[in-house]
Amino acid sequence: MGHRRQSAPRHGSLRFLPRKRANHVKGRVRNWLESNEKNPLFLGFAGFKSGMTHIAYIEDQNTSPFFGKELMKPVTVIETPPLVLFGIKIYEKTEYGLRCKGEILSSKLTKELARKISLPNPDNYDFEAKKKDVQEKLNSNSIIRGIFHTQPYKVNVPRIKPDILEIPISGGKTPQDQIEFGLENLGKELRIRDIFGEGELIDVIGVSTGKGFQGPVKKFGVKLLPRKTRGTKRGIGCIGPWHPARVMYTVARAGQMGFHQRTEYNKRIVKISETGDEINPKGGFLRYGLVKGDYVVVLGSVPGPKKRLIRFRKSMRPRRKFELAAPTITYISRQTQQGK
């Protein structure tokens, strides 16, 4: 008697392989789209996921079938405390990838950064000599990146140790313009408004919620076997043909579920603000609390649980017919999430 035929996995897409744990909880940005702006600018930012709510807004895109109508959509609130630019790195393009040519650190390094890295002795660190050395190593193939650290102690995240991020500088006419732009901002705090604007499309990079080691029923959504089958019910009836004499990668098997790195393209920013009272629900966001400082509201969902670091970047797939304007928000839900 043969096994009952298995139904196709509901969410067993082969786009996301291998399904292994992410190397780091802060995520990794593998590519950046160079900007053609006249003035240099940074290409990314980061924040901490606070929670979700829903808003009503007027659809302002001519290409939408709902143009001019009021829509109600779910949104994600991400608190974005300022990032501190404490260093600049210079890379050179080679046939083997990027090669670091030099770096310079700010003369104003915070004590919180010492929890993450070993800070240089200020008595032995010659800032002007480093600055001159970095400028001499510039050439047409140079890539300039800013070294930032987050400030999790300014939000409702139960840790003090900051995360270190590298964000490229793009735009300008020459790499000399980019290095001067970086030196002007070295040691300063950059806010979300300095890089992104309301209505803009961005890419969101995050690590999804981890669910541990799970079987194929929960991981891929396959159908349960009938009661009188041999061996197991929550498994696969047939793991493949006799030849090839191996289990193919397309077969749904048990393994790690969640804590995978995911990138979502063209998420729209509908609001950037510093007033938490406009977005905080009564009693605060569940398992997060109140938003106190800068925050951004993104249309739709974002990968990862609350309090996880979420990274933003300029869109890698920019849309041609898209109006970069802030939508008119008519309603923001601030109902309590405490279940009372």
The domain spans of the chain are 82-190
Q: Tell me which residue of 65, 224, 91, 275 sits closest to 169, measured CA to CA.
A: 91
pLDDT score, position 316? 95
Both tokens of 75, joined, read 């949104």
Burial of 233 (0-12, 13-18, 19+ CB in 10 A): exposed
**Whether 93 contacts 105, CB under 8 Å:** no
Q: Give the global pTM.
A: 0.91
* Ranges under pLDDT 70 in the chain: 1-13, 340
**Whether 203 contacts 313, CB under 8 Å:** yes
From the CB of residue 204, how many other CB atoms can be counted at a distance below 10 Å? 25
Burial of 24 (0-12, 13-18, 19+ CB in 10 A): exposed
Q: Tell me which residue of 308, 314, 290, 293 sits closest to 163, measured CA to CA.
A: 308
CATH of domain 82-190: 3.30.1430.10
Q: Tell me which residue of 302, 228, 229, 290 sits closest to 263, measured CA to CA.
A: 302
pLDDT score, position 213? 97
pLDDT score, position 329? 96
b/e burial code for range 41-69 (CB count within 10 A of at least 16 → b): bbbbbbbbbbbbbebebebebeeeeeeee
Q: Supply the DSSP symbol for 185.
A: H
pLDDT score, position 137? 85
